[in-house]
Amino acid sequence: MEQKKFDLNSFIGMLLLGGIMLWWMNTQKPDETPEATTQTEQTTNATENVQNNLTENTVLKTIRYSKLLYKISLEPLLMVLQQQKKVVLLLKTTLLS
């Protein structure tokens, strides 16, 4: 029987075929049209604008809500302080007279 030997010519041929196939696959990629890129950029910009507007609206609403909560929580305290101030003034006047 004949022994299988390494055939250098077959190996070089396979490398060449593989290289040609890789070159052919890389050159057959579709070209990007500038219109598609522009439309994609416009869509991206529009999406970013919407996201920025939503973020700004959310921040403004949060600030308004925080101010309202702050005001609501301070009003009862201010009323209590005013009442206590009146009581202290009343006590001062009664004790000093």
**Per-residue 3-state assignment (H helix, E strand, C coil) for the chain:** CCCCCCCHHHHHHHHHHHHHHHHHHHHCCCCCCHHHHHHHHHHHHHHHHHHHHHHHHHHHHHHHHHHHHHHHHHHHHHHHHHHHHHHHHHHHHHHHC
Let me know if residue 16 belongs to a domain. Answer: no
Max avg pLDDT among 10-19, 38-47, 51-60, 82-91: 10-19
Per-residue pLDDT at 1 exceeds 60: no
Give the chain's domain count.
Answer: 1
Q: Is the pTM of this model over 0.75?
A: no
Q: For position 23, what pLDDT does the model report?
A: 92
pLDDT (mean) for 31-48: 69
Let me know if residue 13 belongs to a domain. Answer: no
pLDDT (mean) for 37-64: 78
What percent of the chain is predicted at pLDDT more than 70? 88
Let me know if residue 18 belongs to a domain. Answer: no
Tokens representing residue 64 in the block: 């308004």
